[in-house]
Structure 1
Amino acid sequence: MDIRVGFEIAYAAAQPTPMVIMLNIHPSRQADIIGTETVVAAPDVSIRFYHDSFGNVCGRLVAPAGGVTLKGRARVRDTGLPDETMPDAQQIPVEQLPNELMLYLMPSRYCETDKLTDIAWSLFAKTKPGWDRVAAITEFVHRHVTFGYEHAHHMKSAHDVYEQKTGVCRDFAHLAVALCRCMGIPARYCTGYMGDIGIPPDPSPMDFSGWFQVWLSGRWFTFDARHNVPRIGRILMATGRDAADVALSTSFGRMELKKFEVVSDEVVKAG
């Protein structure tokens, strides 16, 4: 299966404004890109790319006075298979985890494990460690939180989501990540493309999505608390402790979003 992805995002700016963007496909999917991925700015300003401490591809630029439009496109080869499931995947004891995974057990800006530890243990202490425990957490968040774009707020934390019981995809992921960490399971936030492939079309799609991954049996597995079903066609862009680490754009000055369009569609081959 081939998937066509891309975006057009426009910002207005009163004066030249430095920016960091995180709009490229993740290096783990580079081998799946057919041809060349392009990420450009208009007017034609230089973008200097680098890798952050999590291994994500970032770009630095200075948006000119008046603003900037960022455009990207790529064609990606995908297996066409849904997210992998492995019900016998094991939870690794904390004392046996590699050092580099310890930060995925720690509290972070949007995932306050200190506020949720007692709640997590009261809910999940009797679940079987490993895949079953993560599945129980995912199911709980899926049922506990009501989705709605009107509930989005950039300052909402995992504890806020638990109490308010509303949110968007990032909020579902934050609460699930925090609960997993409380139970000693390394968990990280993911962002990327996810179109309506293999499901009925959503009347109001948002093809950038947030989900999460957990470390079981020595590797990362994907879970999605908002949809709570294996999905086809996820294309990872970035991972981090939470959404603060994987912002699509960060501006060092005042900017106003003017346009936001995303594409993530299966390429239908002739014949």
Structure 2
Amino acid sequence: MKIRAGFNLGYECTQPTPMLLALNIHPSRRPDLLSDQVLTFDRPIEAWSYLDGFGNACSRILAPPGLTTISTQFEIYDDGQPDVIPEHAVQHAIKDLPDDVLVYLLGSRYCDTDRLADLAWKMFGTTPMGWPRVKAILDFTHEHITFDYSRADSTRSAYGGYVDRIGVCRDFAHLAITLCRCMNIPARYCTGYLGDIGVPKDPNPMDFSAWSQVYLGGCWHTIDARHNTPRIGRILMATGRDAIDVALTTNFGPAELVRFEVITDEIID
């Protein structure tokens, strides 16, 4: 299967503004590219590429005053298979986890484990360890939060999502991640493209998507509390502890987002 994906983002700056961009696809997906995936700018801007501490392909720019449009469009191969359900993946004892996985057991900016630990153990402490426990957390999160674009809140934490019972895909991801961490299951945040492939067309404008991964059976597995069903055609961009680590852009000065267009479509030959 082939997918065409990309975006046009416009930022209005009142002064020269340094920005960090997490807008490339993840290095693990680059071998699947059928065309180049590069960031382009509608004004002369020099970009420096780097890998961040989580292995994401990022860029640094100095956005000049005025409107700057950042774009990319590419084609990529996808196997067309839905997310794998790791029904038999085991949960590791903490002493057996790789060193680089331990950080995904800890609380973070939006994953406030300290506020949800007691609740998590009361709700999931008697569930079988491993995938059954993760599935119980996904089912709870999917039913507990109502999706509503109009109620997006960039300051809402996992605990806030639990209390408010409303949010967008990042809120589903943060709550599921936090509950997993409370139950000693490493979990991390993912962002990327997820088009309406193999499902009814969503009438809302296309957006980037957030989901999660859990570490079971020696590797990372995709989970998605918002949809709570295997999906086709995910294109990973970045992973981190929570949304703060994979923000599309991080600006060091005033920068207003004034244009936002995302495309993710299956190419029908």
Question: TM-score band (shorter)?
Answer: over 0.9
Q: Distance in 1 between matches of 2:3 and 2:44?
A: 27
Name segments (4+ residues, structure 1) moved above 4 Å. none
| Letter paired with 2:99 | N
Aligned residue for 1:151?
Answer: 151
Aligned residue for 2:13?
Answer: 13
Say whether 1:102 aligns with 2:102.
yes
Q: Distance in 2 between matches of 1:265 and 1:193?
A: 10
Judge conservation of contact 1:142–1:225 (CA < 8 Å) in 2.
yes
Q: Distance in 1 between matches of 2:206 and 2:162?
A: 23
TM-superposition CA deviations, 1:189-209 (whole Å, max 9, x none): 000000000001000043310
Q: Distance in 1 between matches of 2:235 and 2:6?
A: 11
Q: Distance in 1 between matches of 2:227 and 2:3?
A: 20
Q: Distance in 2 between matches of 1:70 and 1:143?
A: 37
Aligned residue for 1:70?
Answer: 70
| Letter paired with 1:251 | N
TM-superposition CA deviations, 1:61-120 (whole Å, max 9, x none): 111111310001111100000001121110001111111111000000000111100000
Aligned residue for 1:53?
Answer: 53
Aligned residue for 2:32?
Answer: 32
| Letter paired with 2:51 | H
Q: Secondary structure at the match of 1:107?
A: coil
Q: Distance in 2 between matches of 1:128 and 1:111?
A: 23
Q: Secondary structure at the match of 2:121?
A: helix
Say whether 1:88 aligns with 2:95.
no
Q: Distance in 1 between matches of 2:81 and 2:225?
A: 19
Q: Distance in 2 between matches of 1:115 and 1:221?
A: 25
Aligned length: 269
Cα deviation for residue 130 of structure 1 reads 0.4
Cα deviation for residue 259 of structure 1 reads 0.5
Q: Secondary structure at the match of 2:44?
A: coil
Q: Identity percentage over the alignment?
A: 54
Say whether 1:188 aligns with 2:188.
yes
Q: Distance in 2 between matches of 1:79 and 1:241?
A: 27
Q: Secondary structure at the match of 2:257?
A: strand
Judge conservation of contact 1:191–1:211 (CA < 8 Å) in 2.
yes
**What 5-or-longer segments of structure 1 have no aligned partner?**
none
Aligned residue for 1:138?
Answer: 138
Q: Secondary structure at the match of 1:256?
A: strand
Q: Secondary structure at the match of 2:143?
A: helix
Q: Distance in 2 between matches of 1:35 and 1:74?
A: 6
Aligned residue for 1:201?
Answer: 201
Aligned residue for 2:173?
Answer: 173
Aligned residue for 2:259?
Answer: 259
Say whether 1:164 aligns with 2:164.
yes
Give the stretch that moved more between structures: 100-109 or 198-207: 198-207
Q: Distance in 1 between matches of 2:144 and 2:158?
A: 12
| Letter paired with 2:140 | F
Cα deviation for residue 256 of structure 1 reads 1.0
Aligned residue for 2:248?
Answer: 248
Q: Distance in 2 between matches of 1:262 and 1:225?
A: 22
TM-superposition CA deviations, 1:162-191 (whole Å, max 9, x none): 111011000000000000000000000000
State the TM-score, normalizing by the size of structure 2: 0.99
Q: Distance in 2 between matches of 1:206 and 1:83?
A: 20
Q: Distance in 1 between matches of 2:221 and 2:45?
A: 38
Say what the alpha-carbon RMSD is for the aligned residues. 0.7
Cα deviation for residue 44 of structure 1 reads 2.3
Q: Distance in 2 between matches of 1:266 and 1:187?
A: 29
Cα deviation for residue 265 of structure 1 reads 0.3
Q: Distance in 1 between matches of 2:205 and 2:197?
A: 11
Judge conservation of contact 1:40–1:47 (CA < 8 Å) in 2.
no
Q: Distance in 1 between matches of 2:205 and 2:143?
A: 21
Aligned residue for 1:125?
Answer: 125
| Letter paired with 2:128 | K
